[in-house]
Structure 1
Amino acid sequence: MPATPKGRRTEAAFLEAARQVFAEKGYFNAKISDIAQAAGKSPGSFYNYYENKEELLEGLLEQFSTEVLEESLKSQTDDPLGGIRGAVRAYWTTYRKYLAEMVGVFQMSMTDPVFADRWRENRAAGIRAVLAGIKHAEKAGYRVGLDPSALASAIVSLLESYCWTWMAAGGDANVDPPDDETSIETLSAIWYRTLYFRHEPG
């Protein structure tokens, strides 16, 4: 991150321009010159902030993760279902906002081992957050009865795959496209019922 206010503004301009160009042209078709033009900067100045387009995509991935976390924290509540619903809503709406970047991330993770590792690091943050929720449920007397790490991985995978299917991959055959609220409620119910379906007295 550039130390000066001007540097931070310039980097922010490149990030926002990249989001615009990725949405219009797709990640692989986007050129650094396109991003620089959209940012109102010279192509040469791009390299003062990023080595390549992949590094810029990593920056946007970090931005995505930060926004999901911040929005999830805003919805924290003593009601377990409300907290889960807030987390799902944060992921769903932020995924839609960063859809072009998520497509680029998926494509890069399929072709670049280094980027695949970076994506796994991103998933790890989500898995840790879900694990914390599992431990909270167990402390409250709910018997999950499943391996916590495997379950956390499955829940994160559920969110990722469902968002990808309906936002990027055209949906499922013979299934009516669900609206946002239906999707959020369905994912929340699956997550909640898995953790809170069995309460142990005492």
Structure 2
Amino acid sequence: MPTTARGVRTRAALVVAARVVFERDGYLDARLTDITKQAGCATGTFYTYFANKEEVFAAVLEEARKDMMHPGMDRVDDEDDPYAVLEASNRAYLTAYQRNAKLMGLMEQVAHVDPEFRRIRTERAEAFIERNARGIAELQRRSVADPEIDPMTASRALSGMVSRMAYGVFVSGEAADGGREYDLDELVGALTRLWANALRFPGRP
């Protein structure tokens, strides 16, 4: 990692440029010369911060992970309403997923052939699962979620449902029934209701 402010800016510019090139050309066709050209720097500068294409792609994915892990929620009028908070959280995640959809598709492709990126994908998924498990445990503590459900198991199932649906809608198109496009409000509403029903929120059927 760079130790000077200028180095931090240069590395950040390379990561931004790499994202543009990866999203435009795909992982396999992306070239380092295109990345340095996009960043406006020499090829030698690239090797000051990254050893190869794999490293800069991992850096791009890390920035996307941060964006999706902490996307920033809209203000919730009643922060004591767990359903409203859950809905806002799902909306923030799905909006961030849509924003990073091209990278999510590339990560899936590369993870199928590269063990290192398969590990990165797994670690990313586990981070979301663990965070959501802590949230479910807190809801149980507040007598909002079913106390008999194991938080980690519930999180793994529900997080998988949301992320797989997001992939199907925003990346592969597999979830587009009959070619129709999902409205974001519809998607947020359906997934939030399924999540709340699975955890047996009070007043939910």
Fold match by TM threshold 0.5 = yes
Q: 1:82 to 1:52 in 2, by over 3 A?
A: farther
Gaps of 5+ in 1: none
Please give the residue correspondences for 1:145-156 in structure 2 after superposition, counting only pairs within 5 Å.
Answer: 145-156=148-159
Q: TM-score, normalised by structure 1?
A: 0.88
2:134–2:151 CA contact under 8 A, matched in 1: no
What is the rounded CA distance, in whole Å, between the counterparts of 1:47 and 1:186 in structure 2?
A: 47
Gaps of 5+ in 2: none
Partner of 2:197: 193
Q: Deviations over 1:68-88 (max 9, x none)?
A: 233246757332122222221
Tell me if 1:169 matches 2:163. no
What is the rounded CA distance, in whole Å, between the counterparts of 1:92 and 1:43 in structure 2?
A: 36
* Structure 1 residue ranges (4+ consecutive) displaced by more than 4 angstroms after TM superposition: 72-76
What amino acid is the match of 2:157? A
Aligned sequence identity (%)? 29
Partner of 2:84: 82
Partner of 1:65: 65
What is the rounded CA distance, in whole Å, between the counterparts of 1:159 and 1:75 in structure 2?
A: 21
1:13–1:39 CA contact under 8 A, matched in 2: yes
Q: Which sits farther off after the overlay, 12-21 or 147-156?
A: 147-156
Q: Deviations over 1:114-143 (max 9, x none)?
A: 221121111111011110121112112232
1:57–1:105 CA contact under 8 A, matched in 2: no
What is the rounded CA distance, in whole Å, between the counterparts of 1:154 and 1:36 in structure 2?
A: 41
What is the rounded CA distance, in whole Å, between the counterparts of 1:97 and 1:117 in structure 2?
A: 23
Q: TM-score, normalised by structure 2?
A: 0.87
Shift of 1:189: 1.7
What is the rounded CA distance, in whole Å, between the counterparts of 1:78 and 1:7 in structure 2?
A: 44
1:85–1:188 CA contact under 8 A, matched in 2: yes
Q: Which sits farther off after the overlay, 56-65 or 170-179?
A: 170-179
What is the rounded CA distance, in whole Å, between the counterparts of 1:104 and 1:163 in structure 2?
A: 15
Q: 1:194 to 1:58 in 2, by over 3 A?
A: same
1:88–1:188 CA contact under 8 A, matched in 2: yes
What is the rounded CA distance, in whole Å, between the counterparts of 1:151 and 1:175 in structure 2?
A: 31
Q: Which sits farther off after the overlay, 142-151 or 93-102?
A: 142-151
Given the alignment, which residue of 129, 132, 135 partners 2:131?
129
Matched residue SS, 1:71? coil
Q: 1:94 to 1:124 in 2, by over 3 A?
A: same
1:144–1:198 CA contact under 8 A, matched in 2: no
Matched positions, count: 199
Matched residue SS, 1:47? helix
2:74–2:92 CA contact under 8 A, matched in 1: no
What amino acid is the match of 1:100? K
What is the rounded CA distance, in whole Å, between the counterparts of 2:96 and 2:180 in structure 1?
A: 23
Q: Deviations over 1:46-99 (max 9, x none)?
A: 111112222222212221222223324675733212222222122212222222
